[in-house]
Chain A
Amino acid sequence: MSFLARFLRSPEGVAGLLLLACLLAMALLAPVLFPRDPLSIVGRPLIPPFADWSLPLGTDRLGRDVLAGLMHGARTSLLVGISAAVVALAAGAVIGTLAGFAAGWLDEALMRVVDAFQIVPPFLLALAFVSVVGASLPVIVLAIALGAWTGAARLARAEVLSIRERDYVAAARVIGMHPLEIAFKEVLPNALPPVLALTSVIVAGAVLTEAALSFLGLGDPNTVTWGSMIAEGRNVLRTAPFLSIVPGLGLVLTVLGVYLLGEGLVEALARKRRRQ
């Protein structure tokens, strides 16, 4: 049975895949369907949803199209979530491999740095970093990754410690490969799979952190995000709760989709292992 077939047997995984496919379609179609800047004013403020079919979800307090914001927001959420996860996983894998392979004082020092990052609340760190450096998408990605790489580093280090004593590593040593070359060509690729299993948790966390940052007004002011839409809608929470609730639902579905997909993948992998 192929991996895909095994994956398709898990209802969680399929549900997650469908959810994320819809969101991805929203994100990709946003500039096609709504080529105008979603921050531009298109009509009267606070048009309720389903009242005007040219603006199906109505407008916000400033007269901006809610549906356009929602779709462009999906773009930001997925973009930031995935980029932050890639940065965090890459940084964690490299630092963990270095620590595990170098051993000795370098390992000790790197692990204390990991400890230091783990005792600082990741959200506070992101908040401080963005507020000091200035809000823009790359900075936000970096700020989120700062609080998310430690788990990957610990896991990579543990894997490397178990791999470094194996035969093929010893063979590479014998033929005189440079230690760094061994670490990144022979060891890292083998240490990677369990680290990648962290992806769904990190992506989900990154999406939530980005939303919270922009909710507090620390997002990139030139991009629409679900967090900033919720914060905007909060000003009229009593009269137009819809404006905060809908982007929040978008967040819930995104994070849920990521978790479900991750669970389905883990399950499919576990089934494969049981078979072997």
Chain B
Amino acid sequence: MTSLLAELRGLSVSYPTAGRTAFALREVHLDIAMGERLAIIGESGSGKTTLALALASILPPQARLAGRIDWPGLARAPVAGRDVGFVFQDPGSSLNPVMRIGEQVAEGARRHLGLGRSAGLERALSLLQRVRIPDPEAALRGYPHQFSGGQRQRIAIACAIAARPRLLIADEPTSALDMVVQAEIVRLLDGLVREEGMTLVFITHDIGLASGFADRIAVFRDGALVEAGATREILAKPAQAYTRSLIAAHIDFASPRLIEPA
């Protein structure tokens, strides 16, 4: 295995609620290798989003963290935006409705790369080209409501990679979009990660979608890690019954083309 970007050791996240503590994540041990594409699979409530927020260090202030996240791949503690980029589920709500696209894409770059106003906009322009927004010059001056859902998610991706982070976390980035657009977004993420040499953590409930391009899969349930391993191995020989049921459900109901029955 190549060198490690991050090591999660006994990571727990809890929220104090009336009287007792509710655990969103319990004793997770997980390694993230440099340059890999790791898919985190789980149903809602499995703790996968909490894991994503913890990695990006944007957990809500009342969340309590126990255990450790070490970053051997970075020289220092990660800075949100600078080292970790984040793509949210719904681009309709993750973009500021009253801020120009150019400014939204540029603000992370300006903050972390020390760019001035015009240099920031230039960076935003090249990013919009990278994510293939049509007429990027005009898009700089546009507002989110003027774009389609898929275009908004491309813009959100441009925002996330603006400061050239080492790690890109995408939290269900396609589940608010229709099927055709989903495939485009996955292809875009895949290409960007390859070209930039970024590490990708892709969070999804859809094991079929993940198996299409992830190097490794980690399955979560009820805040705990069920199992993790290379995609092919997990799909071929799942060690846990829960993983087997996820795969079975997928074969039964979703696109069977991903895993041909032997």
Q: Do chains A and B touch in the complex (CB under 8 A)?
A: no
Interface residues of B, Cβ cutoff 8 Å to A: none
Interface residues of A, Cβ cutoff 8 Å to B: none
